[in-house]
């Protein structure tokens, strides 16, 4: 299994297809909260996207976007069912962190839902720290978990 990570943007058709899979997955796991979270997941103009391929097949994705002068926000992390548990998400996240660092940002932050057990496990494993208070639009949202990491 040779994994290839490609840098692109949110106009990439493979990224768009993977995000549709992600949204279908989240609609199930988020349940009644899906519409609230979905409003923050617009992908129209994300400049920094990575797509993971195995044998030219798109199997995962992630993105970063400017949050403030110090931080990039990790968005749209996803690995297709059947390809999970193979270290692909670790590679995607690592690539996004490198890209953020290349852009002279000092940290990455992200939000995930407490029901996204695999995501929480990944971010903890990758040394992301749970923030004491949620940032931005997630402030006060009970089911949201916000994480940050200095890069």
pLDDT tens per residue, range 103-117? 999 999 999 988 888
Residue 50 forms beta bridges with which residues?
7, 62
Structural contact between residues 95 and 77, judged by C-beta atoms closer than 8 angstroms: no
- pTM metric for this prediction: 0.89
Exposed e or buried b for every residue in 102-120, given b needs 16+ CB within 10 A? eeebebbbbbbbeebeebb
pLDDT confidence of residue 60: 98
Is residue 55 predicted with pLDDT exceeding 80? yes
Task: Tell me, rounded to whole angstroms, the distance of Cα 136 from its chain centroid.
Answer: 17
Is residue 34 predicted with pLDDT exceeding 50? no
Residue 113 forms beta bridges with which residues?
144
> Percent of the chain beyond pLDDT 70?
88
């Amino acid at each position: 299994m040779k994994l290839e990570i490609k840098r692109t943007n949110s106009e990439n058709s493979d990224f768009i297809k993977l995000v549709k899979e992600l949204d279908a997955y989240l609609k199930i796991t988020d349940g009644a909260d899906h519409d609230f979270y979905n409003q923050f997941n617009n992908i129209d103009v994300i400049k920094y996207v990575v797509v993971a391929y195995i044998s030219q097949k798109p199997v995962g994705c992630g993105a970063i976007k400017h949050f403030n002068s110090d931080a990039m926000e990790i968005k749209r992390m996803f690995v297709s069912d059947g390809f999970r548990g193979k270290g692909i998400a670790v590679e995607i996240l690592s690539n996004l962190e490198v890209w953020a660092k290349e852009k002279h940002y000092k940290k990455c932050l992200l939000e995930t839902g407490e029901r996204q057990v695999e995501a929480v496990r990944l971010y903890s494993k990758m040394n992301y720290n749970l923030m004491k208070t949620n940032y931005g639009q997630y402030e006060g949202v009970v089911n949201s978990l916000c994480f940050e990491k200095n890069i």
